[in-house]
Structure 1
Amino acid sequence: MQQLLLKSLYLVAALRYPRFRPDLRYFVRDNYFARISQFRFWKADFVTKKPYKVIEFYGEFDQEVRYAMPFAYWHHLNGTLKQTIAAKNTRPFYFFSPDHLEKHDKRVWEAGYGNYSIPNMTHAPTYDFSKWARVPFKQHYKNELFVYGKPLLVIANKYNIEWDKPPINFLDIPALDRLINGLKDRYQIIYNRPLGGQIVLDNSEIMDLGEHVWLKTNHPDVLLMNDLFEQHCHRVDNFNHLQLMVYANCDRFISMHGGTAALASCFGGINTLLSHPGGGFEHDFDEYTNLFPALSGARILHAKNRDELFRYVEINY
């Protein structure tokens, strides 16, 4: 029965989006099926409204931020959330959960596919926000600890394998140097690139960019998130907790494609993100316009290359 319905929904996707490539229609189909699958919970969600929902996710962090966390928060607001289950060190993201279990030691990117228990579980041209609610990270984690003489600006970089290829979306040292020189007089810059062991990894191997030592030598006024973690380890539960506290005090972000960009989009303000065409389906479905701003109301500036990123930053920061 499920396979027949999936085939029928693929046909609907093909008729509605004839210009999409065949492989993109599978994402549309899966989103249709995930939404239809929610009908069987209608009575539990809208009539009895008792805590029953157990939400488990251990796929890519990007998908968790965009789909799983807002779904869980909706159930919290609805009074129907019973438990959340995710990877290690994720409790700060699920601060609202009555029972959060950190079960998984590793993220499995394939876990997001064929998972129809969460609506909006894959890329799509449109989203159903009926069981999706912004998680108020900024309001919950805003603090007096990470307050400086100048407004904060976070550069959230990454340097890892992407789609089994060498790094694509990242800022190298010359790019960092240009950005920092242009911004350091107006902002207190915090540089964030988590290292192995600080976050739970998936299939994206973290590589060595060598910028941390370079930053300490050439831009000692830039604060490193790794150093902040060492300084405040007794005040935070883990590295994710630190990120949330720092980000909550920030209104200007520069981030990279993937989970880095998704998290930076959860705190309002302006997030200029670098995402090269040809990598990721966000481009095909225009998700930097129809989904990322919904995460917090942030203004999302999508740069398709470094030169475009530099222009956005020069104009808006």
Structure 2
Amino acid sequence: MQRLLLKFLYVMAAIRYPQYRGDLPYFIRDNWFARLNQLRFVRRDYLTRKPYKVISFQGEFDQELRYCLPFAYWHHRNGTLKQTIGCANTKPFYYFSENHTERYTERIWQKGYDSYDVPNMTHSPTYDFGKWTPPPFKSHYRNNLFVYNKPLLVIANKYNIEWDRPPVNFLSIDALDRLISRLKRTYQIVYNRPLSGQIVLDNSEIMDLGEHAWLRANHPEVLLMNDLFEQYRTQVANYNHLQLMVYANADRFVSMHGGTAALASYFGGINVILSHPGGGFEHAFDEYSTLFPAFSGAKILHAKSTEEVFAYVDQYF
């Protein structure tokens, strides 16, 4: 029965969205089926409303931020969340869960697909926000520890394999030099690019950009998240906890395609996202205009090239 319904939904998606190439209706089909699957829980979600929902996730960090966390927080607010299960060091993201277990030591990207337990579990031109409430990270983690004489600006870079190809969406050392030189007089910049030992990895191998030593030598005014982690080890639970605390005090972000961009979009303000065309389905489904602003009401500026990053920074920062 499920296979027949999935085939039917694919045909309907292809008819409804004829402008999309042939593989994209599969995502829409899965999104629709995940929403329909929620009909099984109408009684428990809206009538009895007792804790029953166990949410377990081992997929990509990006998907966890997009779909799983808002679903879990909705159940928390609804009074129906029983337990959450995730990867190591994820408790700060699930601070609202009274029973969170860090079961997994690695992320498996395939785990996020062919799973219909969470609505909106994949890319789509439209989303159902009925059971989708992003946790208010900014208000929860705002603090007096990371306060400086100038407003905080976070540059959230990455340099890793993307879609089994060399790095695509990242700021080079030359680009960082230009960006920091432009902004450091106005902002206290925090540079964030987690190393492999600080986060749970998936299929995206982290590579060596060599920028941390270069930043210390050429822009000592910039605070490195890696250095802050060493400095405040006794005051933060883990690297994710540190990220949340620093981000909560910032209103300006420059971030990269993927989980880096999704996390920065949770904290309001303005987030310039570098996401080159030709990789990722956010472009095809216009998700930087639909999904990403919904995380916190942040102003999302989608830069399709490094030059557009500079243009947005000049205009809005």
Q: TM range, normalised to the smaller chain? A: over 0.9
Percent identical pairs in the alignment equals 71
Matched, 1:172 2:189: no
**For each residue in 1:246-293, what CA deviation from the matched residue of structure 2 results, as whole angstroms up to 9, or x when unmatched?**
000000000000000000000000000100000100000000000000
Q: Which residue of structure 2 lines up, in the alignment, with residue 191 of structure 1?
A: 191
Q: Which residue of structure 2 lines up, in the alignment, with residue 88 of structure 1?
A: 88
Matched, 1:6 2:17: no
Q: Which residue of structure 2 lines up, in the alignment, with residue 278 of structure 1?
A: 278
1:157 aligned partner, one-letter code: N
Question: How far apart in 1 are the matches of 2:70 and 2:134?
Answer: 6
Alignment of 1:15-26 (within 5 A): 15-26=15-26
Matched, 1:32 2:32: yes
1:306 aligned partner, one-letter code: T
1:186 aligned partner, one-letter code: T
Alignment of 1:70-89 (within 5 A): 70-89=70-89
Question: How far apart in 2 are the matches of 1:22 and 1:109?
Answer: 22
| Alignment: residue pair count | 317
**For each residue in 1:62-119, what CA deviation from the matched residue of structure 2 results, as whole angstroms up to 9, or x when unmatched?**
0000100000000000000000001000000000001000001100111111010000
Question: How far apart in 1 are the matches of 2:172 and 2:87?
Answer: 30
**For each residue in 1:144-186, what CA deviation from the matched residue of structure 2 results, as whole angstroms up to 9, or x when unmatched?**
0000000000000000000000000000000000000000000
Question: How far apart in 1 are the matches of 2:306 and 2:105?
Answer: 34
Question: How far apart in 1 are the matches of 2:279 and 2:19?
Answer: 19
Matched, 1:304 2:304: yes
Other structure's SS at 1:50 match: coil
2:274 aligned partner, one-letter code: L
Q: Which residue of structure 1 lines up, in the alignment, with residue 266 of structure 2?
A: 266
Question: How far apart in 2 are the matches of 1:204 and 1:19?
Answer: 30
Name stretches of at least 5 consecutive residues in structure 1 with no aligned partner.
Answer: none
- 1:311 Cα offset (Å): 0.2
Question: How far apart in 2 are the matches of 1:58 and 1:297?
Answer: 27
**For each residue in 1:210-239, what CA deviation from the matched residue of structure 2 results, as whole angstroms up to 9, or x when unmatched?**
000000000000000000000000000000
Question: How far apart in 1 are the matches of 2:229 and 2:106?
Answer: 22
Question: How far apart in 2 are the matches of 1:134 and 1:172?
Answer: 32
Other structure's SS at 2:189 match: strand
Other structure's SS at 2:161 match: coil
Alignment of 1:91-106 (within 5 A): 91-106=91-106
Shift >6 Å, 4+ stretches: none
Question: How far apart in 1 are the matches of 2:207 and 2:18?
Answer: 40
- 1:134 Cα offset (Å): 2.0
Q: Which residue of structure 1 lines up, in the alignment, with residue 219 of structure 2?
A: 219
Question: How far apart in 1 are the matches of 2:184 and 2:18?
Answer: 48
Q: Which residue of structure 1 lines up, in the alignment, with residue 60 of structure 2?
A: 60
Other structure's SS at 2:196 match: coil
Question: How far apart in 2 are the matches of 1:219 and 1:254?
Answer: 17
Question: How far apart in 1 are the matches of 2:234 and 2:309?
Answer: 36
Question: How far apart in 2 are the matches of 1:213 and 1:197?
Answer: 18
Question: How far apart in 2 are the matches of 1:288 and 1:101?
Answer: 31
Q: Which residue of structure 2 lines up, in the alignment, with residue 231 of structure 1?
A: 231
Other structure's SS at 1:179 match: helix
Question: How far apart in 2 are the matches of 1:268 and 1:306?
Answer: 22
- 1:143 Cα offset (Å): 0.1
Question: How far apart in 2 are the matches of 1:21 and 1:183?
Answer: 41
Question: How far apart in 2 are the matches of 1:57 and 1:265?
Answer: 21
Over aligned residues, Cα RMSD in angstroms?
A: 0.4
1:114 aligned partner, one-letter code: D
2:53 aligned partner, one-letter code: K
Question: How far apart in 1 are the matches of 2:189 and 2:79?
Answer: 40
Other structure's SS at 2:66 match: helix
Question: How far apart in 2 are the matches of 1:216 and 1:89?
Answer: 27
Other structure's SS at 2:154 match: strand
- 1:19 Cα offset (Å): 1.1
Question: How far apart in 1 are the matches of 2:6 and 2:167?
Answer: 35
- 1:15 Cα offset (Å): 1.1
Other structure's SS at 1:94 match: coil
Other structure's SS at 1:282 match: coil
